[in-house]
Chain A
Amino acid sequence: NAGVTQTPKFRILKIGQSMTLQCTQDMNHNYMYWYRQDPGMGLKLIYYSVGAGITDKGEVPNGYNVSRSTTEDFPLRLELAAPSQTSVYFCASSTGQGAFFGPGTRLTVT
């Protein structure tokens, strides 16, 4: 099993551009999450999903969108990128017994 994979690993965006961060898991987990990690702030939950077709907002959803058309995939969309979205983004999946994390995507918006 590959676990949780994320692409890309690094990305630089200009202000106002958009992009999609990809996340795929091959463990058949129902729960999937997107977090952002900023220095000294821990991980903040952006969006989560409890199953295909179901998504909900986390602590910091503004400026982001998600979809969950399959169990495996949970892409995160950034529209109109802003410098405040410079961060490291982690995707995770879970059965409710503790989450497995991907390696992260480091995003810089300039």
Chain B
Amino acid sequence: AQSVTQPDIHITVSEGASLELRCNYSYGATPYLFWYVQSPGQGLQLLLKYFSGDTLVQGIKGFEAEFKRSQSSFNLRKPSVHWSDAAEYFCAVALRGGDDKIIFGKGTRLHILP
């Protein structure tokens, strides 16, 4: 079955530390890949996306993600987190050449220690 998995429900890091949030997908072909962020009580904001080409993509707010076809993964990274990065992060996929419905993982909540 097609699915998006975010194995970490919660992650806690210290301010200034590096961050990696994991995402794996299970699809017949490589889908379009996205990361979204949701601050408390807010809607979702697109951080970055991968469609093709360079497997390391840069996004807003200093985030980047790397697509690894062999591992069916699209992990999100940031070299140094800020307290304002505390939020919930969602990995999402959309089928290529299909109807473009976007399917989300269950999310990872990021906590920042001062």
How many residue pairs, one in A and one in B, have C-beta atoms under 8 Å apart?
57
Whole-angstrom CA separation of A56 from B100 in the bound complex = 11
Contact of B45 among A35, A48, A101 (CB under 8 A): A101
Taken together as a complex, chains A and B put the C-alpha atoms of A41 and B103 apart, in Å, by 12
A86–B43 alpha-carbon span in the complex (Å) = 17
Query: Which residues of B are in contact with A by a Cβ distance under 8 Å?
Result: 6, 9, 32, 34, 36, 42-46, 49, 51, 90, 94, 99-107
B105–A42 CB distance below 8 A: yes
Q: Which residues of B contact A74 (CB under 8 A)?
A: none
Contact residues of A: prevailing secondary structure: strand
Chain A min CB distance to B101 (Å): 5
Please give me the 6 A-B residue pairs with the lowest Cβ-Cβ distance, nearest first: A42-B106, A101-B43, A43-B104, A101-B44, A98-B46, A42-B104
Say whether, besides A43-B90, A98-B34, A98-B49, A33 and B44 are in contact (CB < 8 Å): no
With both chains docked as a complex, state the minimum distance between the C-beta of B82 and any C-beta of chain A, in angstroms. 23
- Can you give 5 contacting A-B residue pairs, CB < 8 Å? A31-B100, A33-B102, A99-B102, A101-B43, A101-B45
Say whether, besides A42-B90, A42-B105, A96 and B100 are in contact (CB < 8 Å): yes
Q: Which residues of A contact B6 (CB under 8 A)?
A: 42
B53 CB to closest chain A CB (Å) equals 14
Nearest CB of B to A91, in Å: 9
